[in-house]
Structure 1
């Protein structure tokens, strides 16, 4: 794999440690998912996150919980109402979702995937806790690789193509320029077209310039970019642009969800400001 591709992807992993600690703090993850680095970064950023919450009503952890629980809700619906029995979570990081859903649904096949170093760490974590088995597995993948055993095509080839599937990416999309991420979405839509039913769940932060805290949002975006040694571009301006973008990549049905509007049903407090994060449910 070319060095440029590896460098373009590798900056994502540090944020996985921070979010892993957030999931644990909010009782969504077992203590095994906490890393010393995640705990350290959370403590280091606490004055910043407190100031953003107190001064501007921007609660970073609330945004993370909104997207995580909204994706959980859509996945639950797919399993319980549409009979989905296989799930792929790409860029799984230290997400506890695979552990929680495999415990809740014994018939579920759950495949987690991430860059090689993070995948190895996740595999060791799950294996060490006795959670890894034939129906819950971890593989290496690089979403920018167009061929080879770490490509998206190779990952999808390991699934049962006679059964419906749900593919999830969380905390991934906004680390890449739109051209690169739309390339991934196009390859994903092509791969998912081989299944009888396929759903893609992801989240993104659109460029909501009309939001009352847009200036503070841009400052936060720049901070995230520095912390993760990369950029954090905001894609699309509104719901219509999101739908058009996903359809251009090959998804026929696109639903844009605002988790802040569903806070009550997600078990979260009512949002003080309009939401910043959107969860996308796209089907081929």
Structure 2
């Protein structure tokens, strides 16, 4: 059996509860996105995250907000300046982005996608609030599936391939070893070539060994891995390596953003965990 077939992405979903509560705490999500488990885990971890801020200058919530708001900023620019009218958010979990952007841009077609169990939960949540419709939908997808009803090709077959598209993954790729991630990116780039304009937005935590907070970052991502019952490898050593990696997977234009440098524009206080997360905007 190929290695990809033995790898499960089911361990990712528990982290959605924690981040869902973080978005709510920072006024990025409605109360409908808050789960009892998410509130419980956030409370349970509060002493640890406080200690990490005080002792190590590692602010986990700040890192989450940096990546989330930088992706929001790039998506806003793609819609308002690039004419994008279709968005696919893979591994949507309890992300409130689909709700917020569907409200802000009624003309936008927004498809949220996740593993079947998580997709069903998200669909139930959005349906209960009356938020789903012809423009805002939820679909099942498995990024490791190369064929079948839940593969990437089946997901993108629903889109209008004569119009621009943006694809988002947030809080996903760092759960997998680089070989699996690059396989996903290669298949994604193949799908995006069918569109006249296609942009992929994601985030990475590079293996910045020269960074003064590298040891604290390793501690933090190790904690995240234990909480989500999976490994949490760091990918690439620096920004040029990130660009080269994406180009190898079939993306021709790659821009790497350090959200700590745009904190003020993102509405955030100056970062105490500067330069630990990257947001990538890649086009085919």
TM-score by length of 2: 0.98
In the other structure, the counterpart of 2:200 is 200
- Identify the range of structure 1 (166-175 vs 208-217) with the bigger mean alpha-carbon deviation: 208-217
In the other structure, the counterpart of 1:128 is 128
1:261 lines up with 2:261 in the alignment: yes
In the other structure, the counterpart of 2:95 is 95
Q: Which structure 1 segments of 5+ residues have no match?
A: none
- Report the Cα offset of residue 3 of structure 1: 11
In the other structure, the counterpart of 2:111 is 111
Q: Distance in 1 between matches of 2:57 and 2:226?
A: 22
- Does structure 2 conserve the Cα–Cα contact (< 8 Å) formed by 1:84 and 1:165? yes
SS at match of 1:11: helix
Q: Distance in 2 between matches of 1:43 and 1:158?
A: 40
In the other structure, the counterpart of 1:60 is 60
Q: Which structure 2 segments of 5+ residues have no match?
A: none
- Report the Cα offset of residue 272 of structure 1: 2.8
- CA offsets, 1:44-87, max 9 Å, x none? 11111000011111100000000000000000000000110000
Number of positions where the alignment pairs a residue of Structure 1 with one of Structure 2: 284
Q: CA RMSD in A?
A: 1.5
TM-score by length of 1: 0.98
Q: Map of 1:70-219 to 2, 5 A cutoff?
A: 70-219=70-219
CA change 1:10–1:89 in 2 (3 A) is same
- Report the Cα offset of residue 7 of structure 1: 5.4
- Does structure 2 conserve the Cα–Cα contact (< 8 Å) formed by 1:211 and 1:274? no
SS at match of 2:8: helix
- Report the Cα offset of residue 274 of structure 1: 2.5
In the other structure, the counterpart of 2:50 is 50
- Identify the range of structure 1 (268-277 vs 72-81) with the bigger mean alpha-carbon deviation: 268-277
SS at match of 2:65: helix
Moved over 6 A (4+): none
Q: Distance in 2 between matches of 1:37 and 1:254?
A: 37
- Does structure 1 conserve the Cα–Cα contact (< 8 Å) formed by 2:86 and 2:110? yes
